[in-house]
Amino acid sequence: MNEQMNQVLRTPSNYLQGINITLDLSNVLELSEDAKILIIVDTYTMKDYRQRIEKSLDTAQMFEFVVFEGLLTMERLEVIVKEHEELDYDMVLGFGGGTIMDVAKAVSTLLQTTVVLVPSIASTDGPCSRLSAIYHEDGGFSHYMVREQSPEYVIVDLYILSLAPVRTFIAGIGDALSTYVEANACYLSMSVNDAGGLDTFSSLMIARSCKEIIFEDAVDAVKSLQEKMITPSFKRMIEANIYLSGIGFESGGLSIAHALHNGLTKLRSERRFMHGEVIAYTTLVQLATENSHEFTQYRDLCLQLGLPTKLADFGLTLDEKVKTIIEQTCFFEGSSMYHVPYEISPEIVFQAMEFVEKRI
Ligand SMILES: [Zn+2]
């Protein structure tokens, strides 16, 4: 049936990357004098970059800040929209971490405005996609809210990202590591991608470039960041984390790694883990389900970068309780768990998880 579907590739309208590009947002965004902007920030970006943003947007007619912390739930989203729907904003600008990107996309969808995304960390590939992850109050994943259009602007400031915590950058590499594995599984199984159609060959090649950059540049890029240096490998890795991985996952599609991640978020572990840290591990599980000869190569890179490679790294064991939650939350009609060109079942995933756990 899928053969009849269109092939769809979606990208942001504008992707701009540069050192201190956020010093001149009025020009970069070609702001008109009557522009009204709702700016969504987290406490860090509010503290560190408020003055920079105000100065950079000084040609706008008005702007207002919303400081957002915690998880994005439908209840919290509705509160923001209700408080701001009267003012007729032209633009929602998100400046912050992964959650802020999702909040800005979701708010702009409901307020029907342009969205501008300025990531302050490169921890996920969210900025280039239309999706916002919505959570339940208890922290469990609820659903994705999908914007009609891809973001109008993604503005990547290499200076700001060179000051970001190393852990967030490595988590972004973990997220990007899944991109080709999942896109390739979707391509081969003709599964529906998150852009609303079948994969194009171009999106598969974008995902492949993402993988190539990771294996070529990740280790050196992390070293650059530790030394706060903006090197060519750092620039390429930023592009891979944010752009290639973003296009690659949305227009390439998700598969086991993200489905299993969404199940694992229902489990309580003592330490809080970042999205990309969980994805690094679930990517290894996906590779194990397909008996990939590249498993060791991926696992070794994760070890080198300090990314989790076992369930034990999360303080969890594959007991009956964990198995039940995975079975209940990952295996349902429409789950990306089935986006593979081979048979998949809870037993096959558990076997793969056991294999991953035993590898030294
Ligand atoms: Zn992801």
In a domain, 277, yes or no: yes
Contact (CB, 8 A) for 308 and 284: no
The predicted-structure confidence for 41-50, as pLDDT tens digits, reads as follows 999 999 999 9
Check 175, 194, 199, 217 and give the catalytic one. Answer: 175
Residue 143 pairs in a beta bridge with 134
- Show the low-confidence residues of the chain (pLDDT under 50): none
Helices (runs of H) and strands (runs of E) counted in the chain: 14, 8
pLDDT value for 269:
64
How far does residue 294's CA lie from ligand 1's centre (Å)? 20
SS (H, E, C) 151-168: CCEEEEEHHHHCCCCHHH
258 is catalytic: yes
Q: Indicate if 269 and 235 belong to the same structural domain.
A: yes
Check 157, 194, 261, 339 and give the catalytic one. Answer: 261
Q: Indicate if 136 and 206 belong to the same structural domain.
A: no
* Per-residue tokens: 69: 């912390």
The predicted-structure confidence for 142-165, as pLDDT tens digits, reads as follows 898 999 999 999 999 999 999 999
What is the domain range of residue 45?
10-161
175 is catalytic: yes
Residue 348 phi/psi, 5-degree rounding, is -65, -40
| Domain endpoint, select from 161, 177, 209 | 161
Q: Indicate if 206 and 345 belong to the same structural domain.
A: yes
Q: Indicate if 34 and 83 belong to the same structural domain.
A: yes
> What average pLDDT is seen over the chain?
95
Check 42, 258, 313, 339 and give the catalytic one. Answer: 258
How far does residue 124's CA lie from ligand 1's centre (Å)? 6
Task: Indicate the number of domains in the chain.
Answer: 2
Q: Indicate if 152 and 189 belong to the same structural domain.
A: no
How far does residue 80's CA lie from ligand 1's centre (Å)? 25
Q: Indicate if 180 and 321 belong to the same structural domain.
A: yes
Cα Rg of the chain, angstroms: 20
* Per-residue tokens: 356: 């991953």
How far does residue 56's CA lie from ligand 1's centre (Å)? 31
pLDDT value for 141:
78
Q: Indicate if 346 and 276 belong to the same structural domain.
A: yes
Pairing verdict, β 141-146 and 91-96: unpaired
Q: Indicate if 227 and 341 belong to the same structural domain.
A: yes
Q: Measured between alpha carbons, how far is residue 351 from residues 195, 229, 318, 324 in Å? A: 31, 42, 10, 14
157 is catalytic: no
pLDDT value for 295:
97
Annotated binding site for glycerol: 125, 175, 258, 275
Annotated binding site: 98-102, 125, 129, 131, 135, 175, 258, 275
275 is catalytic: yes
CATH of the domain at 70: 3.40.50.1970
Check 194, 275, 313, 339 and give the catalytic one. Answer: 275
Q: Indicate if 45 and 122 belong to the same structural domain.
A: yes
CATH of the domain at 271: 1.20.1090.10
pLDDT value for 221:
98
